[in-house]
Chains A and B, each alone.
Chain A
């Protein structure tokens, strides 16, 4: 009686083990399929960028020979280096201003006491509900008023202030104990020093997350630059890529080469920051 019981139990265990193994296998299989299908367009892009012009429209994935010359041709067709520089320059400024202004606003919304603060915050958040395109028209009019159309400054200012960052950092800062501010205040810190020396360093995971989001978002941003830019000298990468649009002839291979080059900074940033990004999202998720 007891013996059979033990046997049964061990058999159950085995079955359970087997069940677990097959389950893990299935999960991994699914993940692999999803991962591959996400990577496919990327692989196709790289392969196409290396195809000789004659092979662009055929069904083969692999180019018959690797034509690295496509890449240098991109630089010959347009001032691609300038586009690159514009993108990086504008994106860096936007990221810097967005993060700094969001952090300062978040500090004001989370740690300073002033009349109507929370109502103001809700009002501020409400602007997030408006679709970006709807805001573009008044924003554009403001830029005309200030004579900032077709300038770096207009490009940068126009996308540097977003409630999302303020919201993210405010939620983050609210988890920092108030007694730290008070301790710093008694230690002799001014409000600015409390912000800069205490609250900012402690918000690091939030700051990093916001930096990555903002960088990626504005690096890819297309519509605002499209509206704002007239002169080729100011073209950012997403706008510059339009040059290789098939409307101007069959240049898909060049387009793909240009796109491949333009995604490189994002990949680098992602690889470098990946650990912080995950941590930041988790922190925001758990505590905020």
Chain B
């Protein structure tokens, strides 16, 4: 049971490769935090620094109240599940799980009790005598978790533990992981490049890019109030629609001008974007927040015209790829009534859910004040 605190953490590899820069994170006790980002963004490096498998180049790492920068991995009271499971092939499932307890000189009876308990919890009882070679991917995964569980550590680390499983197995293991966290209520830090895993598992998620934290917030907040263009297009499939244009003033109103796509921006945005009048901005809106006339209830008075050039049928919905002059964007449409999407379509964006991003820095200018405050609190002030 412990908080994990990263203060101004850097990782600089030989040859001046800065893999992680100025990472500040406060992970609360019993929290499930997911680090997500594209390949090479420094997720694993961050996790491995917490584990003690990589040296910390700069900054302070605390587990509980204790600074552990120079503490060996074995003494940090953490357990890690590796992407390739890293099971000892020459040991049985039982021995794999018992190994760490044996090294720590636990009594035989205590080892036995813990291993059997973990095996029961993870439904591994009938495989205890088998070697890892004779197990399926999902079973190996559970053994790897069991090996971590028996130690009763105060922090669990996972590095893409589900990426070697097939799609179905991944979904069911995801549920098991969530269940495991509910049951043992321990701090968990989880690395993945899969945003669905991040959204479904995390109490909070950390979105990273190029070694920098982009946003640290609850999944729904990340989805509804992405901190910048990168987060907006990384989280959510299909990604958020982005329209390039300029911000203009027209009397009392502020207008997003994307040439053939012009919209009046809601009053709530005015204060935070006024300074950008005359500058390049990006108008962002999620595919489900653009309604097609005649197909969906439209509550907006502003619209644009478009034609569909590609349709993806997913069963519960259609993904319509639309084009309007130079703009290409996507709409999600309920497929139940087999909508006819041929010809000229009128699209109504739900302006209340739209975002304006700074054209240069990509920062979301329209995040509500209370959200900004909450995010600033979790990421320690730099």
A182 contacts B by Cβ under 8 Å: yes
Contact status B90-A202, CB under 8 Å: yes
B169 contacts A by Cβ under 8 Å: no
CA distance A144 to B72 in the complex (A): 46
B53 contacts across to A, CB distance below 8 A: 182, 185-186
Contact status B80-A202, CB under 8 Å: no
A204 and chain B: residue at smallest CB distance? B90
Within the complex, the shortest CB–CB distance from A196 to chain B, in Å, comes to 11
B88 contacts across to A, CB distance below 8 A: 180, 183-184, 198, 202
B104 and chain A: residue at smallest CB distance? A188
Contact status A179-B82, CB under 8 Å: yes
A184 contacts across to B, CB distance below 8 A: 88, 99
Contact status B103-A186, CB under 8 Å: no
CA distance A204 to B90 in the complex (A): 10
B100 contacts A by Cβ under 8 Å: yes
Total of A-B residue pairs, C-beta within 8 Å: 54
Say yes or no: A188-B86 contact (C-beta < 8 A), given A182-B53, A183-B80: no
Contact of A186 among B74, B83, B89, B90 (CB under 8 A): B74
A201 contacts B by Cβ under 8 Å: yes
Contact status B90-A189, CB under 8 Å: no
Contact of A179 among B72, B84, B89, B90 (CB under 8 A): B84
Interface residue tally of chain A, by bracket?
A: 10 to 19
Say yes or no: A189-B86 contact (C-beta < 8 A), given A182-B53, A183-B80: no
CA distance A204 to B51 in the complex (A): 30
Contact status B74-A185, CB under 8 Å: yes
Q: Which of B67-107 contact A (CB under 8 A)?
A: 72-74, 78-80, 82-84, 86, 88-90, 99-100, 103-104
Interface residue tally of chain B, by bracket?
A: 20 to 34
A138 contacts B by Cβ under 8 Å: no
Within the complex, the shortest CB–CB distance from A223 to chain B, in Å, comes to 39
B51 contacts across to A, CB distance below 8 A: 182, 186
A187 contacts B by Cβ under 8 Å: yes
CA distance A179 to B144 in the complex (A): 12
CA distance A180 to B83 in the complex (A): 11
Contact of B73 among A177, A180, A185, A202 (CB under 8 A): A185
Within the complex, the shortest CB–CB distance from A26 to chain B, in Å, comes to 41
Contact status A188-B103, CB under 8 Å: yes
CA distance A188 to B147 in the complex (A): 12
CA distance A198 to B78 in the complex (A): 20
A260 contacts B by Cβ under 8 Å: no
A181 and chain B: residue at smallest CB distance? B86
Contact status B78-A187, CB under 8 Å: no
CA distance A185 to B151 in the complex (A): 14
CA distance A147 to B151 in the complex (A): 54
CA distance A270 to B138 in the complex (A): 41
Q: Which of A154-202 contact B (CB under 8 A)?
A: 177, 179-180, 182-189, 193, 197-198, 201-202
A193 contacts across to B, CB distance below 8 A: 103
Contact status B74-A183, CB under 8 Å: no
Contact of B100 among A187, A198, A204 (CB under 8 A): A187
Contact status A187-B82, CB under 8 Å: no
Per-residue A-contact encoding for B332-346, CB less than 8 Å = 1, 0 else = 000000000000000
CA distance A202 to B91 in the complex (A): 10
Say yes or no: A188-B84 contact (C-beta < 8 A), given A201-B90, A202-B89: no
Within the complex, the shortest CB–CB distance from A157 to chain B, in Å, comes to 32
Contact status A183-B103, CB under 8 Å: no
A185 contacts across to B, CB distance below 8 A: 53, 72-74
CA distance A197 to B88 in the complex (A): 9
Within the complex, the shortest CB–CB distance from B331 to chain A, in Å, comes to 44
Within the complex, the shortest CB–CB distance from A78 to chain B, in Å, comes to 46
A198 and chain B: residue at smallest CB distance? B88
Contact of B86 among A180, A197, A204 (CB under 8 A): A180
Contact status B103-A187, CB under 8 Å: yes
CA distance A189 to B80 in the complex (A): 14
Within the complex, the shortest CB–CB distance from B24 to chain A, in Å, comes to 25
Contact status A179-B74, CB under 8 Å: no
> What are 6 contact pairs spanning A and B, CB under 8 A?
A179-B83, A182-B86, A187-B100, A187-B151, A189-B74, A193-B103
Interface residues of A (CB under 8 A from B): 177, 179-180, 182-189, 193, 197-198, 201-202, 204
List the 10 closest pairs (A to B, CB-CB), nearest first. Answer: A187-B100, A183-B86, A179-B86, A188-B74, A188-B103, A201-B90, A179-B82, A186-B73, A180-B86, A188-B104
Q: A182-B80, A187-B74, A187-B103 are in contact. List 17 more A-B contacts (CB 8 A).
A: A179-B82, A179-B86, A180-B88, A182-B51, A182-B86, A183-B86, A183-B88, A184-B99, A185-B74, A186-B51, A186-B53, A186-B73, A186-B74, A186-B79, A186-B100, A188-B100, A189-B74
